[in-house]
Amino acid sequence: MIRRIARFVSDLRNRARSEGPHYQWIALSNTTLGVLMASINGSIVVISLPAIFRGIGLDPLQPANIDYLLWMLMGYLVCTAVLVVTFGRLGDLFGRARMYNLGFAVFTIASVALALTPGRGVSAALYLIGMRVVQGVGGAFLMANSAAILTDAFPSDKRGLALGINSVAGIAGSFLGLLLGGFLAVIGWRLVFWVSVPIGVFGTAWAYLVLRDVRELQPHPIDWWGNLTFAAGLILILLGITYGIQPYGAAVMSWESPAVLGYLFGGAALLGIFIAVERRVRAPMFDLSLFRIRAFAAGNAASLLSSIGRGGLQFMLIVWLQGIWLPLHGYSFESTPLWAGIFMLPLTVGFLVAGPLSGYLSDRYGARPFATGGMLLGALSFILLMLLPANFPYWIFGSMIFLNGIGSGLFAAPNTTGIMNAVPSRERGQASGMRATTMNAGMVLSIGIFFSLIIVGLASSLPQAITAGLSAEHVPAPVVHRVASVPVVSSLFAAFLGYNPMETLIPARTLASLPAQDRRTLVGTAFFPRLIAKPFMDGLSIAFTFAAFLFLLAAIASWLRGKRYVHEEASVA
């Protein structure tokens, strides 16, 4: 038996390391598995946060615990956004397959460490945040090098299909993570992390056995100053965005606080220094001259804009479903994370239908018509979603998010192919890293931007709605005033996490003193959704208008990329 296994492994390795289609499809299957796993883990915690915090015995809605909530949500995304360009460049220097394999191993070890989280309370929360950052390091290695490995493996007339499958796996994984997290969290919160372990062990071994670098390495000295200034600058900006949505004194958000302004301006200054450094060093971390290639620059601009809009859609749909629609239809607040993932499936199906097909067609016709058309279709879906009432007929809602998924699927694969085709083969690692940076930074930016837009909409009318609603149910005036004065972001996070805010915000003693009918109304599934529906829809209209505007800008950037362009073919010509 051992000899048979050894012979099978040897035969597989020989096939993989030979030239031709065997290696192409092995590389595609392995990198798609890695990217899918990394992207699922970017969102699986989002939907599982209530179960995780209950498991470690910490109330995430307490003001002192908001930071833990934010960093449990943001740590992984910030880490991947900061590191992918650096790790893509390391792939150029030391081998893309080698860096990718390292990422699989780091990711798997961090998943085991997360599943074995010790202790409870604050110490457990800090441990989880730290291990999520380590997991983000592994995810950054995977995301930074997967597209470059595929671009090396496939000829230019087949890259669209390969990168299409890979890109759609990455984007669809962010939505599949919501469904998977909701299901596993019901059974046990540690399963949210254990689920990655068998995939990671298999993927690490498989990648080590079969993946290889298909070009000769050309080592250069590492650009330490470029790496440090880029990482520090981006971290500061993302910190500013993360803390900007928290209250500051009497203000509903912190965009005017000295700390947030210091983060933002300090980060911008460091990124300015990074640009100056990159113009002077012999072997820069990122070759800024790549942005002179129109297809590369336009593709990354479109990627950033679409990622911000798509991330905003994901978070707003979660709040809409978990905080309003599902409770109004009788679902308990505790069950809404799972059902939100299920009811968002049409969005994922749209991705899966359109992505590989548009990637295949872009090999022949170029990225421009599909990427541009996809963004226009996505913008239309945002406009249609704005026309829906808070308590919508599901078939209409499902059709609209399916349309959005089709639009984003049409965009993702051709845009990735256009970016990767546009650069020289020796620069594909850093190009892949920059593409991943625009996507991951866009997701983090979307949290700050769209939560801010929703908070602005809620702040103008939610306190008055809470005051009127609680007073009608005979809640004592001092309690009404205290609940209405709670920062709007707390109510928003409660809806986002699937909590019943009335049970959290109204003291248990006060609830017990109320007449039975009033108490049942306050803690029922309909009271809070009806209370928040009108203010939320006001904010949602602002958010979806902005998302439609971003998609239209992405469509313009996609059109400006020009006709089909492959760097090697252009060089030969």
pLDDT in tens, 125-177: 899 999 998 998 888 888 888 877 887 788 777 777 777 777 777 767 777 78
Sorting pLDDT into bands at 50, 70 and 90, what band is 555?
very high
What sign does the dihedral 182-184-190-191 (CA atoms) show? negative
Length of the chain: 573
Q: Which of 410 and 285 is assigned the larger pLDDT?
A: 410
Sorting pLDDT into bands at 50, 70 and 90, what band is 568?
low
Q: Give the end of a domain, one of 236, 256, 284.
A: 284
What pLDDT was estimated at residue 17? Answer: 52
Q: Indicate whether 18 belongs to any domain.
A: yes
Q: What share of the chain is helix, strand, coil (3-state, %, to 5)?
A: 80, 0, 20
Structure tokens at 62: 């307490």
Give the phi and the psi of residue 73 in degrees, each rounded to 5.
-80, -40
105's enclosing H/E stretch is: helix 96-115
Spatial separation of the C-alpha atoms in residues 496 and 505, rounded to whole Å: 15
Single-letter amino acid code for the residue at 128 = L
Residue 246 has pLDDT above 80, yes or no: no
- Using alpha carbons only, what angle is made at residue 192 by residues 69 and 127, rounded to the nearest 5 degrees? 45
Structure tokens at 131: 């291990």
Residue 215 has pLDDT above 70, yes or no: no
Q: What is the largest CA-CA distance in the chain?
A: 83
Helical pair 21-56 and 336-343, crossing angle rounded to 10 deg? 150
Q: Give the end of a domain, one of 284, 307, 336.
A: 284
Spatial separation of the C-alpha atoms in residues 285 and 274, rounded to whole Å: 10
Beta bridge partners of 251: 248
Highest mean predicted confidence (pLDDT) among 288-292, 457-461, 541-545, 554-558 = 554-558
CA contacts within 13 A on the Cβ side of 304: 12
Q: Are residues 289 and 250 in the same domain?
A: no
Of 196-210, 218-232, 251-265, the range with the lowest mean pLDDT is: 218-232
Sorting pLDDT into bands at 50, 70 and 90, what band is 381?
very high
What sign does the dihedral 313-315-319-322 (CA atoms) show? positive
Q: Are residues 418 and 443 in the same domain?
A: yes
Q: Are residues 279 and 293 in the same domain?
A: no
Three-state secondary structure of 168-208: HHHHHHHHHHHHHHHHHHHHCCCHHHHCHHHHHHHHHHHHH
Share of the chain above pLDDT 70, in %: 91
Residues 6 or more apart from 29 whose CB is under 8 A from it?
A: none
Sorting pLDDT into bands at 50, 70 and 90, what band is 374?
very high
* Count of structural domains within the chain: 2
**Domain with 94 in it: what CATH number?**
1.20.1250.20
Structural domain boundaries enclosing 269: 223-284
Q: What is residue 355's three-state secondary structure?
A: helix
Spatial separation of the C-alpha atoms in residues 237 and 266, rounded to whole Å: 8
Q: Give the end of a domain, one of 259, 284, 309.
A: 284
For the segment 306-331, what is each residue's pLDDT rounded down to a tens digit?
Answer: 988 887 787 788 888 888 899 889 88
Single-letter amino acid code for the residue at 461 = S
Spatial separation of the C-alpha atoms in residues 26 and 203, rounded to whole Å: 12
Beta bridge partners of 15: none
Q: Are residues 270 and 322 in the same domain?
A: no
Q: Are residues 311 and 409 in the same domain?
A: yes
Q: What average pLDDT does the structure give for the chain?
A: 81
CA contacts within 13 A on the Cβ side of 455: 24
What pLDDT was estimated at residue 214? Answer: 67
